[in-house]
Amino acid sequence: MNKKLCIGVLTSGGDAPGMNAAIRAVTRTAIYNGIEVKGIMRGYKGLVFNEIIPFKTENVSNIIQRGGTILKTARCDEFRTPEGRKTAYDNMVAAGINALVVIGGDGSMTGAYQFAREFDVPIAAMPGTIDNDLYGTDTTIGYDTALNTIMDAVDKIRDTATSHERLFFIEVMGRSAGFLALNGAIASGAEAAIIPEMYTEADQLDELISNGMRKSKNSSIVLVAESELTGGAMGLAKRVQEEYPQYDVRVSILGHLQRGGSPTASDRILASRMGEAAVNALLDGQRNVMIGIQNGNLVNVPFSKAIRDDKPIDRSLMNMVKILSI
């Protein structure tokens, strides 16, 4: 029965370093098990617009170290409609594909969940996003690389911040999740992180200022998660300039550089392990699960759980940032 599996693999939504390592692991594990693999270009767009190519082991040679995704990625509005998903299913069946591996973030997982409820397609998903905002997994493919990129950037900004005795707000990605901001702040020794998860509990800016920012230091660096809730780095800088004009404030928005670069060893290993596990899950007859990692062990997380938007962040770490920056 296993021999009849034909897996289509796609990367969808925001790209993340390590997606190539994931594609490689899926392809090679499948071929090792005698399963056919097809690469679907541009996420769900490739299903809807029929861009599907047979994959051999050579298709994934020399990509483990490359950022981005050789399959390309896209956002696909057509897949949000029942007609679009029907076309996607018809194209998939016509190409001989009878199982999918979806590598992507929260939106891609939601799309997979919807598709699996409408059609008889087993899907194994892998969390590929720098944001680390998927529930049921301690970390996601790309998160560690992005965190390291942020750390390197903040190290450089600190040199100029110190020389000029400035307050820097550095905005990082995260799509309404504070993992990159909080752990980026810890890794770079920043004075504070401002994150959406704690926004409703206190005015983090007022707290920061009243905690005596710059009392004993000649510069301060604050990492801000991009989010309507935090107001972003620009919003906070504007507030400081209005409410505390004594500060010399600067803003740096790290932007898309956080998505790029060669994946770290951690991300390559995670992607390789999850890719193998995704194919094994399909071989075991599992369906509609996201491969997650909890306490170092791979686990299967049902889609419905993975897309919950309340992944907990360790709040005690916020306090630790304060303690370590006195």
Residues that bind ligand ADP (CB under 6 A): 12-14, 44, 75-76, 79-80, 104-108, 110-111, 114, 129
Are the C-beta atoms of 31 and 58 separated by less than 8 Å? Answer: no
Nearer to ligand ADP, 205 or 263 (CB): 263
Shortest distance, position 187 Cβ to ligand ADP, whole Å: 23
Helix segments in 101-142, DSSP class H: 106-118
Q: How far apart are CA 140 and CA 274, in angstroms?
A: 10
**Residue labelled with tokens 């905005």:** 171
Which residue's Cβ has the minimum distance to ligand ADP? 107
**Angle, alpha carbons 152-154-155 (nearest 5°):** 65
Nearest distance from residue 36's CB to ligand ADP, in Å?
25
The two structure tokens encoding residue 227: 């989010």
Q: How far apart are CA 46 and CA 43, in angstroms?
A: 6
Query: What SS3 class is residue 322?
Result: helix
- Residues β-bridged to residue 127: 104
Q: Please say which residue, 130 or 249, places its beta carbon nearer to ligand ADP.
A: 130
Query: Does the annotation mark 131 as catalytic?
Result: yes
CA–CA gap between residue 249 and residue 284 (Å, rounded): 56
Between 38 and 42, whose beta carbon lies closer to ligand ADP?
Answer: 42
The shares of helix, strand and coil residues in the chain, as percent rounded to the nearest 5, are 45, 20, 35
Choose between 106 and 171: whose C-beta lies nearer to ligand ADP.
Answer: 106
* Per annotation, catalytic residue among 106, 131, 133, 267: 131
Least Cβ distance, residue 234 to ligand ADP (angstroms):
23
Nearest approach, Cβ of residue 88 and ligand ADP (Å): 10
Residues designated catalytic:
131
